[in-house]
A and B are shown apart, each in its own frame.
Chain A
Amino acid sequence: MKAAASQVVSVLVTLLGLLALTFFMGRMLPIDPVIAIIGEQAEPETYDMVKAQLGLDKPIYVQFGVFIRDMMTGEFGNALFTGNSVAHDIKRVFPATIELATVAIIFGVGLGVPFGMLAAVYRGSVLDHVARFIGLLGYSSPTFWLGLMGLILFYASLGWVGGPGRLDVVFLDMVDTRTGLLLVDALLAGEAEVFWNAFSHIILPASILGYASMAYISRMTRSFMLEQLGQEYIVAARVKGMSRWRVVWRHAFRNILVQLITVIALAYAFLLEGAVLTETVFAWPGFGRYLTSGLLAGDMNAVLACVLIIGIIFVGLNLLSDVLYRLLDPRTR
């Protein structure tokens, strides 16, 4: 109980810190925001009036209070480059990123876990080295470059996958938006053709985005498995006559499940970072692309809101993985 209370306090303090850091970022601007609006030649009275309207005449702690209130109630202001409120924009673009990240994590887990298991069971073999090298490449590759090369090879040359964007132009707006996840919406509407088109568009960006998380997941799986396989109970089970893979699945794998879940939660959080670059390359109308468009347009309202939201999601997923660990691992009770 005491641990839970201190966790809550710690999360609240972190959230306050996130807010303070984004507030500080907004104040670092080298240009005077008032002059940016009214221009250099304006009368001093106009200057004072606009300054008061922006709330910049108040003491800094009052401004910070107003900032916290606005952020907590979702009043992120208007995005100048879209003309909508930032909150509205984010609601619109978020599902696209969730869809991309979810397909990516399925890819990362689906390949990363078996790779890591095999590498651990056949430790030191060719397979282990190959898996390690593929992982290292995943850590070292610039995702935006992989994306471009993937587009050249699989889209332009081979024509195996769909191009940039979420759908071919002819399929746009063919299904109603219910969840915002195109794959799900297409299935709900029973439009198989739309589903396959959306699938052909998402498969390349998702697998490239998932590659780095696959590297991370397989490395962690390998080290967790090695730790288990070195334990005496494994030897005991083998001596008893159990087959190698039965021991691996029934005993070792079950014991690493909890650790694995926390790793996957963290990997999902890091996908948000990769999404910024992947979405830019694939013209994917999601959160990351919204953030970079805001950056290039110099729109601080949009940028600060996005940075803050990603920070909150990051903290949230960290917390979630902590809580899951406590709930699932009987030793921590």
Chain B
Amino acid sequence: MSGYLRAWLTAEVTTSPRHANVQRFYFGWLRLRANPLALIGLAILLSLVVVAILAPVIVPVGPNDQDLTRRLLPPSAAHWLGTDELGRDLFARVVYGSRITLYMSCLVAVIAAPIGLAVGTTAGYFGGWTDTVLMRINDIFLSFPPLILALGFVAALGSGIENAVIAIALTAWPPIARLARAETLTIRASDYIAAVRVQGASPRRIILKHIVPMCVPSVVVRITLNMAGIILTAAGLGFLGLGAQPPMPEWGAILSTGRQYMLGAWWIAAIPGLAILLTSLAFNLFGDGLRDVLDPRSE
């Protein structure tokens, strides 16, 4: 890095809002860099994204290519992680499975975060009855363990990836709404909101343009921390046969079929489980580090 850039990044007086933002980001990165566990988490997540994107380049065979002459082979040079009951290469299936896991968890985040933000900021800004009613609904969703609630919704909607995503998203928004509401309550009383209101801005405009942007950072951290749980729930649904359906190479679903061959071919069940563990661990490590960066008091 050139000396000039470093000087600009660490300047004591910032010259523009963009400068200030970049600098805050840079200082955050420095703090994150000091946390080796968070970096490991980040590295695992980044490599997972690369693997998911480059899946066809990494493995020459498809996840559903069968070769019945090569069934249930243990890990070897030809099949790094062995083959399953239909002679499919397990390495290829696990690699392609990362796409499904990332797809599902990102979709859940993309659905749950806006719902949570909308409900939380509305409840916090208006207060009174709106707040009471919305937070009551929120509490009701929170009074079921997430997996149980997701199971109930999947039972009603039917199984499959899309329905599993909807079911998990329905269980993932309440903690975000609660957080957004708490943030809104502190923002609402500040002078700049009063100033915008005096200028005649509508509540809609105040919430969308002035409150939501302030809530976004903490919501992002919360979603990252919750991601580990979301992945475990998605894998659990797949394992129970209620999420992704075979022959999709979803990790939970592979594990579930591997269960029948568990005693002879342990690798079919062991390896997708390790992949789930690694991904969820990475999110936990990274989320912990992110929380320390954004809220140094939490330690």
A126 at the interface (CB under 8 A from B): no
* Stretch in B68-76, B148-156, B181-189 touching the partner: B148-156
Contacts of A139 in B (CB 8 A): 228, 280, 284
Query: Within 8 Å of chain B (Cβ to Cβ): is A323?
Result: no
A30 CB–B CB distance under 8 Å: yes
Q: How far is the CB of B20 from chain A (nearest CB, A)?
A: 33
| B196 neighbours in A (Cβ, 8 Å) | none
Q: Would you call A152 an interface residue if the criterion is a C-beta within 8 Å of the partner chain's C-beta atoms?
A: yes
Report whether A13 and B155 are in contact in the complex, using a CB–CB cutoff of 8 Å: no
**Taking the complex as formed, is B13 at the interface, i.e. its CB lies under 8 A from any CB of chain A?**
no
A109–B173 alpha-carbon span in the complex (Å) = 30
- When A142-B273, A149-B270, A152-B262 are in contact, do A272 and B145 touch as well, CB less than 8 Å? yes
Given contacts A21-B140, A140-B280, A142-B235, contact A307 B152 (CB under 8 A): yes
Distance in angstroms from A286 CB to nearest chain B CB is 14
A276 at the interface (CB under 8 A from B): yes
| Residue of A whose beta carbon sits closest to that of B143 | A315
CA distance A300 to B158 in the complex (A): 11
A142-B3 Cα distance, complex, nearest whole Å: 47
| Cross-interface CB contact of A18 among B143, B155, B262, B263, cutoff 8 Å | B143
B259 touches A13 (CB 8 A): no
For A272, list chain B residues within 8 Å (CB): 145, 148
* B155-190 to A contact mask, C-beta < 8 Å, 1/0: 111100000000000000000000000000000000
Task: Establish whether residues A295 and B151, one from each chain, have CB atoms under 8 Å apart when the complex forms.
Answer: yes
Residues from chain A with Cβ under 8 Å of B146 in the complex: 273
Q: Are A140 and B284 in contact (CB under 8 A)?
A: yes
Q: How far is the CB of A204 from chain B (nearest CB, A)?
A: 14
A269 CB-CB contact with B under 8 Å: yes
| Cβ-defined contact, B152 with A22, below 8 A | yes
Choose from B140, B148, B266, B281 the contact partner of A136 (Cβ within 8 Å). Answer: B281
Please name all residues of chain B whose beta carbon is closer than 8 Å to the beta carbon of A148 when the two chains form the complex. Answer: 255, 259, 262, 269-270, 273
Which residue of the partner chain, among A144, A277, A300, contacts B156 with CB atoms under 8 Å?
A: A300
Query: How far is A220 from B206 in the complex, measured between Cα atoms in Å?
Result: 38
**Complex Cα gap A310–B146 (Å):** 11
Q: What are the residues of chain B within 8 A of A141 when measuring CB–CB?
A: 277, 280
* Complex interface: chain A residues within 8 A of B153 (CB): 25, 28
Residues of A within 8 A of B158 (CB): 30
Q: How many Å from the CB of B172 to the closest CB on chain A?
A: 15
Query: CA–CA, A307 to B147, complex, Å?
Result: 10
A77 within 8 Å of B by Cβ? no
CB-defined contacts of B65 to chain A, threshold 8 Å: none
CB neighbours (8 Å) of A145 from chain B are: 255, 269-270, 272-274, 276-277
- A28 to B145 Cα, complex, angstroms: 20
A304 to B144 Cα, complex, angstroms: 12
A137 at the interface (CB under 8 A from B): yes
Contact mask A176-208 → B, CB, 8 Å, 1/0? 000000000000000000000000000000000
Interface string of B215-239 (1 = CB under 8 A from A): 0000000000000100010011001
Given contacts A18-B140, A25-B153, A296-B241, contact A276 B277 (CB under 8 A): no
In the complex, whether B67 has a CB less than 8 A from a CB of chain A is no
A140 to B278, CA, bound (A): 8
- Cβ contact within 8 Å between A144 and B139: no
Q: In the complex, which residues of chain A have a beta carbon less than 8 angstroms from the beta carbon of B283?
A: 140
Cβ-defined contact, A144 with B262, below 8 A: no
Question: Is there an interface contact between B266 and A152, defined as CB atoms closer than 8 Å?
Answer: yes
Q: Are A25 and B273 in contact (CB under 8 A)?
A: no
Q: Is the CB of A276 within 8 A of B147?
A: yes
Is residue A264 within 8 Å, beta carbon to beta carbon, of the partner chain? no
Contact A17 B157 (CB under 8 A): no
Q: Does A298 contact B (CB under 8 A)?
A: yes
Q: Is B137 a contact of A17 with CB atoms below 8 Å?
A: yes
B33 CB–A CB distance under 8 Å: no
What are 23 pairs between A and B in contact, CB < 8 Å? A17-B137, A21-B141, A25-B152, A26-B156, A28-B156, A137-B281, A139-B284, A145-B255, A148-B270, A148-B273, A152-B262, A152-B270, A156-B262, A273-B145, A276-B148, A292-B240, A295-B240, A296-B240, A298-B155, A307-B151, A310-B144, A310-B145, A314-B144
Residues of B within 8 A of A (CB): 136-137, 139-141, 143-149, 151-158, 228, 232, 235-236, 239-242, 252, 255, 259, 262-263, 266, 269-270, 272-274, 276-277, 280-281, 283-285
